[in-house]
Amino acid sequence: MLDRSIRDQFPIFSVPELKNFAYLDNTATTQKPLRVVERLRQFYAHEYATVHRGVYRLSQESTEYCEETRRLAKQFINAKKLEEIIFVKGTTEAINLVAKTYVKSTIKKGQSILITEMEHHANIVPWQQVCEETGAVLKVAAITDAGELDLDSFKSQLDASTAFVSLVHISNALGTVNPIKQCIDLAHKAGANVLIDGAQSVAHERIDVQALDCDFFCFSSHKMYGPTGVGILYGKYALLDQMPVYETGGDMVETVTFSGTTFQKPPAKFEPGTPAIAEIIGLGEAFGFLNEVGLDNIKAHEDELLAYATEKLSAVPGLRIIGTSKHKSAIISFVLDGVHPHDAGTILDEANVAVRVGHHCAQPVMRRFNIPATIRASFSLYNTQKDVDQLVAGLYKVLEIMQ
């Protein structure tokens, strides 16, 4: 297990009214270490200026801080080129950017886009829109009763018509870790390009986009101990270079006349307007934090917590875990017989336990298991076995009240 001092680095856990707070909603968003909070304060209080084009010192320094985050992102996922790192608002915008530019401009009527039954809405709706606009067909690979990707279903739907595959790395609703390298290789063999939604994986295990050979990879800062409102889209440079612009405005242009406009090369081509400067700088600090703690250490800690929590929760009467893949991240979704998840969440809150209840922006997953919603506990590097015990005690309280 990671040292207790890790938890002490997160100021929210020292708030008096949140004493003994079991925060188990890490899949939705993570808490922020003091160094990230302080970096934001330092920038706004003592270093603030806009980026790009400024000749004065503060502007040049702000620009350099942002570019340092780009360098850290490149290193973190082992991109080949710095220009392959695009700042976006988050995973959702990244997927929409690829859908509305690369895929929409290259796909032909009758071709198909392949996703899976376990996708987040953000990796479903953009593809539906592209299909409606282009005449392409959306195909969906099935998942098993254990919540694993049905590889036979995936393979059977890859054919000469498949133009693009978009696949989640780790399911936010089930915790399933998909065999993305195998899926990428299969997609490429069929002639399709691939986007990987890494929102739930990038802070939990090592990512090497060159080894994976994915064409696009995206993730959000706020799920990896950084600020909200910023994320990263990685794309192979040759693809980014051929993609049409997504949004237009200042800074992403090369020349502007009333007769026409030319655009800069990536990454500037996809970064119009004033960016989320402070948030980008805060993301850089989050990269530093993760590098210092070590992703291997984080994964080992979370795997241990997952095993402990699975054992303890499985002993709760009437509790059924939804998603029992052999390869899971530290996410456990479950239902309690005779108890609506929202009622359970409210009672757990009174016990100072924060869990997520609902469909988790994955309604097709809920339909697959014939349930309206689940209770989801998700673990992070600052969680302990005590948090698990507090959750289990809270669930017994739920059963006492509701049954």
Confidence (pLDDT) at 251: 87
Domains and CATH numbers, the chain: 5-25+294-402 (3.90.1150.10), 49-291 (3.40.640.10)
Summarize the confidence of residues 353-359 as an average pLDDT. 98
SS3 annotation, 240-285: HHHCCCCCCCCCCEEEEECCEEEECCCCHHHCCCCCCHHHHHHHHH
Is the pLDDT score of 280 beyond 90? yes
| Range with lowest mean pLDDT among 19-23, 33-37, 312-316 | 19-23
Residue with tokens 């390298």: 181
Summarize the confidence of residues 280-300 as an average pLDDT. 97
Confidence (pLDDT) at 56: 96
Q: How confident is the model at residue 148 (pLDDT cuts 50, 70, 90)?
A: very high
* Cα separation, 209 vs 388, whole angstroms: 34
Catalytic residues: 361
Confidence (pLDDT) at 216: 99
pLDDT in tens, 157-187: 999 999 999 999 999 999 999 999 999 999 9
Mean per-residue pLDDT over the chain, rounded:
97
> Where are the alpha helices (H) located in 275-369, listed in sequence order?
277-293, 295-314, 341-350, 363-368
Confidence (pLDDT) at 53: 82
pLDDT in tens, 182-236: 999 999 999 999 999 999 999 999 999 999 999 999 999 999 999 999 999 999 9
Confidence (pLDDT) at 2: 80
Give the residues across from 87 on adjacent strands. 232
- Classify 360 in phi/psi space as left (phi over 0), alpha (psi -120 to 50) or beta: left
Helix (H, G, I), strand (E, B) or coil at 386: helix
Q: What is the distance, to the nearest Å, from the Cα of residue 68 to the centroid of all Cα atoms in its chain?
A: 22
Confidence (pLDDT) at 54: 86
